[in-house]
Amino acid sequence: MRFSASSRGRCYRPRRHPAFTLMEVIIALAVLGMSMVAIGTLIQIGGQNALQARLLTTAQFLAETKLSEVKAGILAPTATGPIPFPATETMEPFQYTIRSQPIDSQGMLLSVEILVEYMTIDGSLPLQHRVTTWMIDPAIELAPDSNEQIRDFLTLEDI
């Protein structure tokens, strides 16, 4: 075998193919791992926020329902509670409290507040929703001379 004069002093080197080095692969895997951890954390936070939004929506619905029951006369607007909701209304551990107080000097108008709370299992602060409205006291409204009392009240206030 003969070697040419130009190749006698050189070492044989294979041709380099374009490829990633080990260091580039390790850095790429580290970046991928950190991004997967960040995405996992965001998914967990999103799930917690979705649960909280669902519970708050349920609390709003339950508070409006109880307020409608008070307005319809099914529940008395007297201070009661906390009372757990029956299983027919919700399977979640919600409870409600009714608070009322007169807001005028004659005691004809009531401020009625419904407070609905979700009682957490882990003992953290409960999720709460309040609904407040003013209404004519049902005891006066259902009295035989209620129309005259209400008319007199409205005309006195308008003066």
pLDDT confidence of residue 137: 78
Distances (CA, A) of 20 to 5, 14, 24, 37, 66: 36, 17, 6, 24, 67
Determine the pLDDT at residue 73.
Answer: 82
- The pTM of this model reads 0.66
Q: 122 — phi, psi (to 5°)?
A: -80, 0
Which pLDDT belongs to residue 74? 85
Are the C-beta atoms of residues 94 and 104 closer than 8 Å to each other?
Answer: no
Question: Which DSSP string do the residues of 108-156 spell out, in sequence order?
Answer: -EEEEEEEEEE--SS--PPEEEEEEEEEE-HHHHTSTTHHHHHHHHHHH
Length of the chain: 159
Per-residue pLDDT at 9: 58
Confidence (pLDDT) at 8: 58
pLDDT at 65: 92
Which of the residues in the chain have pLDDT under 50? 158-159
